[in-house]
């Protein structure tokens, strides 16, 4: 294990969450990936034969696909140096008391237990590669809501699981989706029954903790007809000395007239490669919203997608990216209009600071037959220093005569007049800058539950420290 001294040596100790908890993995696969490791993972999880087959086929596809040449720089990413599976404990925990002290300690630093006791209903806390703690409010159980670790989802609800698993993100979708399909471990399985409205957000905190460990979470969510729910995934990770890698797959099926919102606030440490495939299939009259906040990681490539396959479906993507020194946030969103009268909106806000680079990459596709589809995309970029960079790469593909599509993007710096006004009111330069930035992201921050909005603002403040001058 690396020690805190190493972190101090690297000058990374200003990072807000760089505490390291000593962990005791029970089983750790060797570095790199081959068929043997995939078989081990499947055996450890006591999976049915079809899942092992699925994983092995995915491994083949993964190996046959080239690394993507677009987006961020993946040259430094050495997949042979990564542990593809680590499991800290043998069994899942069902009550807080059973959770090991060192893990509790990590959560305490994040303020989770407080939130947990008060408002949080079900917490699937992912420590290393598996869910170690999982609770669900009683009333939801009575409503028939399923909120399990993905492994338990497969064990307890094999038919439901198999019906939807890998239907939204096929294995061959992209290289990293194939990789995840081969080695997935951890993540959530959620089912909201017909007509059930879950008032309090479902939340899953997770952390990556072992050095060089791969994290391949896989989440499958089914929101049945007319249901409503909000799922929150947030993460902060301690800083480590070598590059880490996270490659998740999130699949969501939003059935007719259901409403689902998925929120991610990502604050991985600045050595993390975060390559995630998130996609929702949105059926007739349903509403899907992605709220995607990317603050951490070395490189994030993540484009939450909505496939609007049912008439009148609506997709909404709110994306916020903060790229500071050494970071590249290559994020955005994709909306594919397949059915008539579908509507969508993408709002992206990015901030680049130091030598950070924020790229918006998006796809807006309207198939022929998606009559009267409407979509609007807005991207705003804020540049905070001379060396920072921003890019906008939208793809707009329209095959439908009656579609109406708009895309707009602006790039600007913090106005001298704004800063002058604030500083002339006695506000320090630093605070003035933070205020302008907070104002810039406000349209997205206000969509978040209160705790997250506060946390986001706090993170922005932390990030803004020393950014003036």
Partner 1 sequence: MGNGATSVKIDATAGGAVRVDDPERALAAINGLNEPETLRQARRLALERFRKLPMPSRKSEEWRYTDIANLRLEDFEPAIPGLDGDRPKGSEPGGLDELESVPEPVREVLARSRERSGVWVQVDGVTVYHRLDDDLAERGVVFASISTVARERPDLLEKYLFTSPIPEMEEKLWAAHVALLSEGFVLHVPRGVRLPTPIHTFRCITKPGTLVSTHSLVAVEEGGEATCIDEFMSPDLPETSINLAGAELFGGPEATLHYIALQRFGTGVKHFGLQHVTSQRDSRLAGVNISLGGDLSRADVTSHLEGSGSESEMLALWFGDRTQHFDHHTLQHHAAPSAHSDLLYKGALTDSAHSVFRGLIRVEPEGQLTDAYQTNRNLILSEKASARALPNLEIKADDVRCSHGATVGQVDSNQLFYLMSRGLSRRQAERLLVFGFFDEVLGRIPLEGVRDRIREAIETKIGISTSSLTSA
Residues lying near partner 1 in the complex (CB under 8 A) are found at 70, 366, 368, 381, 383-413
Q: What are phi and psi of 97, to 5 degrees?
A: -60, -30
| 463 in Cβ contact with 322 (< 8 Å) | yes
Give which of 269, 333, 330 is closest to 301, Cα–Cα: 330
Paired sense of beta strands 146-149 and 188-192, if any: antiparallel
Taking CA atoms, 166 is separated from 40, 308, 378, in Å, by 21, 17, 31
Shortest distance, position 406 Cβ to partner 1, whole Å: 5
Taking CA atoms, 129 is separated from 84, 86, 326, in Å, by 9, 6, 26
SS3 content of the chain, % helix, strand, coil (to 5): 25, 35, 35
Shortest distance, position 383 Cβ to partner 1, whole Å: 4
Which residue number, 70 or 425, has a Cβ lying nearer to partner 1?
70
Taking CA atoms, 426 is separated from 411, 416, 437, 456, 466, in Å, by 28, 15, 18, 25, 18
| 349 in Cβ contact with 319 (< 8 Å) | yes
Shortest distance, position 391 Cβ to partner 1, whole Å: 5
Which residue number, 4 or 429, has a Cβ lying nearer to partner 1?
429
Which residue number, 395 or 421, has a Cβ lying nearer to partner 1?
395
Shortest distance, position 360 Cβ to partner 1, whole Å: 8
Which residue number, 395 or 420, has a Cβ lying nearer to partner 1?
395
CA 420, 422, 426, 427 torsion-angle sign: negative
Which residue number, 70 or 159, has a Cβ lying nearer to partner 1?
70
| 183 in Cβ contact with 33 (< 8 Å) | yes
Shortest distance, position 359 Cβ to partner 1, whole Å: 9
What DSSP assignment string belongs to 154-223? HHH-HHHHHHHTTTSS-GGGSHHHHHHHHH----EEEEE-TT-B--SPEEEEEE--STTBEE--EEEEEE
Quote the CA–CA distance of 52 and 42 in Å, as a whole number. 6
Taking CA atoms, 397 is separated from 5, 64, 346, 433, 448, in Å, by 51, 28, 15, 38, 31
Which residue number, 42 or 319, has a Cβ lying nearer to partner 1?
319
Which residue number, 242 or 412, has a Cβ lying nearer to partner 1?
412
Give which of 233, 136, 235 is closest to 191, Cα–Cα: 136
Shortest distance, position 32 Cβ to partner 1, whole Å: 29
Shortest distance, position 468 Cβ to partner 1, whole Å: 13
Q: What are phi and psi of 188, to 5 degrees?
A: -120, 155
What DSSP assignment string belongs to 66-85? PPP-SSS--TT--GGGSBS-
Which residue number, 76 or 387, has a Cβ lying nearer to partner 1?
387
Shortest distance, position 315 Cβ to partner 1, whole Å: 17
Shortest distance, position 381 Cβ to partner 1, whole Å: 7
Shortest distance, position 401 Cβ to partner 1, whole Å: 5
Which residue number, 32 or 326, has a Cβ lying nearer to partner 1?
326
Which residue number, 196 or 339, has a Cβ lying nearer to partner 1?
339
């Amino acid at each position: 294990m690396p020690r805190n001294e190493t972190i101090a040596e690297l000058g990374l100790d200003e990072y807000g969450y760089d505490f390291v908890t000593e962990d005791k993995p029970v089983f750790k696969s060797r570095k790199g990936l081959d068929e043997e490791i995939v078989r081990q993972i499947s055996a450890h999880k006591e999976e049915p034969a079809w899942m092992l087959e699925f994983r092995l086929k995915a491994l083949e596809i993964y190996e046959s696909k080239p690394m993507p040449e677009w987006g961020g720089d993946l040259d430094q990413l050495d997949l042979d140096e990564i542990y593809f599976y680590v499991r800290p404990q043998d069994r899942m925990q069902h009550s807080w008391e059973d959770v090991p002290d060192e893990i509790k300690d990590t959560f305490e630093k994040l303020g989770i237990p407080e939130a947990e006791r008060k408002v949080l209903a079900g917490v699937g806390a992912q420590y290393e590669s598996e869910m170690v703690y999982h609770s669900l409010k009683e009333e939801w159980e009575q409503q028939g809501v399923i909120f399990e670790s993905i492994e338990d989802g497969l064990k307890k609800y094999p038919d439901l699981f198999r019906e939807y698993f890998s239907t939204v993100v096929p294995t061959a979708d992209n290289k990293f989706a194939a990789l995840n399909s081969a080695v997935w471990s951890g993540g959530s399985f959620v089912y909201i029954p017909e007509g059930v409205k879950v008032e309090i957000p479902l939340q899953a905190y997770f952390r990556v903790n072992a050095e060089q460990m791969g994290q391949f979470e896989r989440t499958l969510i089914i929101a049945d007809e007319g249901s409503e729910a909000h799922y929150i995934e947030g993460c902060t990770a301690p800083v480590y000395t070598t590059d880490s890698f996270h490659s998740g797959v999130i699949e969501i099926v939003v059935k007719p007239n259901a409403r689902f919102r998925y929120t991610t606030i990502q604050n991985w440490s600045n050595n993390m490669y975060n390559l995630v495939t998130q996609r929702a299939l949105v059926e007739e009259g349903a509403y899907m919203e992605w709220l995607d906040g990317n603050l951490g990681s070395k490189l994030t490539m993540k484009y939450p997608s909505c496939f609007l396959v049912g008439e009148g479906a609506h997709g909404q993507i709110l994306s916020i990216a903060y790229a500071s020194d050494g970071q590249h946030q290559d994020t955005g969103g994709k909306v594919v209009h397949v059915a008539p009268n579908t509507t969508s909106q993408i709002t992206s806000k990015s901030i680049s600071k130091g030598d950070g680079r924020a790229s918006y990459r998006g796809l807006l596709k309207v198939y022929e037959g998606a009559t009267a589809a409407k979509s609007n995309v807005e991207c705003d970029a804020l540049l905070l220093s001379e060396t920072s960079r921003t890019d906008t790469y939208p793809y707009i593909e329209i095959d439908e005569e009656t579609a109406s599509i708009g895309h707009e993007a602006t790039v600007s710096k913090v106005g001298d007049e704004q800063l002058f006004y604030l500083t002339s009111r006695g506000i320090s330069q630093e605070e003035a800058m933070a205020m302008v930035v907070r104002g810039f992201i406000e349209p997205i921050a206000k969509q978040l539950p209160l705790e997250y909005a506060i946390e986001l603002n706090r993170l922005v403040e932390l990030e803004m420290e020393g950014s003036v001058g």
